[in-house]
Amino acid sequence: MTELVVTGGAGFIGSNFVRHVVRVRPQWHVTVLDKLTYAGNLANLAGLPEDRVAFVRGDVADADVVDGVVGAADAVVHFAAESHNDNSLRDPRPFVDTNLVGTFTLLEAVRRHGVRFHHISTDEVYGDLALDAPARFTEHTPYNPSSPYSSTKAGSDLLVRAWVRSFNVQATISNCSNNYGPYQYVEKFIPRQITNVLSGIRPKLYGAGLNVRDWIHTEDHSSAVVEILEHGRIGQTYLIGADGEQNNLTVVRMILELMGRDPDDFEHVNDRPGHDRRYAIDSTKLQEELGWQPRYTNFREGLKATIDWYTAHRDWWEPVKAQVEATYAKAGQ
Ligand code: NAD
Ligand code: DAU
């Protein structure tokens, strides 16, 4: 039996990862360590077998809690983070506390206990790309983060690299592109627009909507992380992406069309300050070295399934929708 700790396992990607692990690795037991911030929700883990998944409520920046949980683990996969760019522009402090101090606290614990560590990060650490250039991010792209969110994620990656080099911590890092799928909090682009349509609100596009994101289904992110955890080389960084580039305008129009609405029934709102233009991942290293392949590459189908999930789970998102929209409204978004 492998004892796996998943930090942030009550959030969007973390909970999808826990579900994935329970399905594909029947011999693993998972302990979720999560603070249950506004983005964490125990309902995301509902229905999982109690003998396979345990839950500890705690802050990854709390050394005592972290030490107890990590001390009993064979491996830690670290998803916990403040994850939303717009929030980081309003109040950066929690991003420093969780993304930097939290990662530092975990690194010290895995160092003390000799535990394998996998750090979940983002393509945003590389900054952005021009809209009209063919370039994509690789593991060799220099770090150039734009927002308080992405700069704290970049800092956390550098802490991991230093702990590998200085203290021989057994760690790997992955930097993934934009995820979509079920259980994503409604502040994020795709679930916000789907739940807007379901609530009779017009979808909101920042600026002209020409910014490009490289979409990957969260299931493909999960399978890549399992692969890296089991077969990745210590000290290495792997980029995770599925060749899913779309501009925001195209995505909003596709959502409206799939929901049987006029594709032009959206509105332009204030742009995000410092808005990154384009992200694009070259995942050749992961594919060639570890043989990983994405499976959910039909974006239209994945989007349709995601729309169906939000349509069937109104009770999951309706209680927080009005407050999320009220916060956006204050910024004219
Ligand atoms: P999320 O905001 O949906 O979930 C974050 C989870 O972390 C929540 O359950 C929250 O309660 C928990 N958490 C926050 N602060 C904590 C703390 N101090 N201690 C313990 N738990 C805490 O985030 P997400 O979108 O699922 O992202 C998960 C990870 O994946 C993050 O590290 C993020 O940087 C990374 N990532 C996200 C994407 C994406 O598209 N969403 C892409 C690439 C990488
Ligand atoms: O690239 C990986 C990153 O993807 C992760 O590290 C982050 O945790 C995750 O939040 C995501 O960051 P983005 O800023 O790209 O995602 P977001 O969903 O906030 O926005 C996606 C795009 O849509 C972005 O160009 C901004 C735009 N947008 C967003 C919202 C919420 C809109 O046009 N309208 C909106 O209402």
- Cα-to-centroid distance, 112 and ligand 1 (Å): 24
**Ligand 2 atom, smallest distance to 179 CA:** 4
* pTM of the model as a whole: 0.99
Instruction: Identify the residues whose C-beta falls under 6 Å from ligand 2.
Output: 83-85, 122-124, 177-178, 188-189, 192, 204-206, 211, 213, 248, 272, 279
- Cα-to-centroid distance, 29 and ligand 2 (Å): 32
Q: Is the beta carbon of 316 within 6 A of some atom in ligand 1?
A: no
Average pLDDT, the chain: 98
Q: Is the pLDDT assigned to residue 1 strictly greater than 80?
A: no
Q: Residue 86: what pLDDT?
A: 98
Ligand nearest to the CA of 188: 2
Ligand nearest to the CA of 120: 1
Residue partners of 199: CB distance under 8 A and separation at least 6? 321
* Rounded Cα–Cα distance for residues 163 and 172 (Å): 11
- ∠ CA 260-264-270, rounded to 5°: 125
Residue from 7, 12, 98 whose mutation best tests the ligand 1 pocket (most atoms within 8 A of CB): 12
Q: Residue 169: what pLDDT?
A: 98
Ligand nearest to the CA of 240: 1
- Cα-to-centroid distance, 83 and ligand 1 (Å): 5
ipTM above 0.90, yes or no: yes
Q: Which H or E element spans position 88?
A: helix 85-90
Q: Is the beta carbon of 80 within 6 A of some atom in ligand 1?
A: yes
Q: Is the beta carbon of 98 within 6 A of some atom in ligand 1?
A: yes
pLDDT band at 35 (very low <50, low <70, confident <90, very high): very high
Residue from 183, 213, 215 whose mutation best tests the ligand 2 pocket (most atoms within 8 A of CB): 213
**C-beta separation of 77 from 7 below 8 A:** yes
Q: Is the pLDDT assigned to residue 44 strictly greater than 90?
A: yes
Ligand nearest to the CA of 104: 1
**Ligand 2 atom, smallest distance to 207 CA:** 33
Q: Six-digit token pair at 232?
A: 């990745």
Query: Strands 75-78, 212-214: parallel, antiparallel or unpaired by DSSP?
Result: unpaired
Q: Six-digit token pair at 253?
A: 């129009």
- Give the three-class secondary structure for 54: strand
**pLDDT tens readout for residues 247-286:** 999 999 999 999 999 999 999 999 999 999 999 999 999 9
Rounded mean pLDDT of 206-214?
Answer: 98
Distance of CA 140 to the CA centre of its chain: 21
Q: Is the pLDDT assigned to residue 49 strictly greater than 90?
A: yes
**C-beta separation of 160 from 311 below 8 A:** no
Maximum CA extent, the chain: 57
Q: Is the beta carbon of 152 within 6 A of some atom in ligand 1?
A: no
Question: Rounded to the nearest 5°, which phi and psi values hold at 112?
Answer: -60, -40
Q: Is the beta carbon of 75 within 6 A of some atom in ligand 1?
A: no
Q: Six-digit token pair at 188?
A: 């994020």
Q: Six-digit token pair at 100?
A: 């930097």
Q: Is the beta carbon of 214 within 6 A of some atom in ligand 1?
A: no
Residue partners of 139: CB distance under 8 A and separation at least 6? 236, 237, 238, 239, 285
Q: Is the pLDDT assigned to residue 133 strictly greater than 90?
A: no
**Ligand 2 atom, smallest distance to 121 CA:** 6
Rounded mean pLDDT of 238-243?
Answer: 98
Query: Which structural domains are found in the chain, ordered by start?
Result: 3-179+215-240 (3.40.50.720), 188-212+245-291+298-323 (3.90.25.10)
**pLDDT tens readout for residues 163-186:** 999 999 999 999 999 999 999 999
Q: Is the beta carbon of 294 within 6 A of some atom in ligand 1?
A: no
pLDDT band at 83 (very low <50, low <70, confident <90, very high): very high
Rounded mean pLDDT of 68-85?
Answer: 98
Q: What's the CA dihedral at 226, 231, 237, 241 to 10 degrees? A: -50
pLDDT band at 212 (very low <50, low <70, confident <90, very high): very high
Catalytic residue numbers, as ranges:
123-124, 149
**Ligand 1 atom, smallest distance to 120 CA:** 32
- Cα-to-centroid distance, 133 and ligand 1 (Å): 30
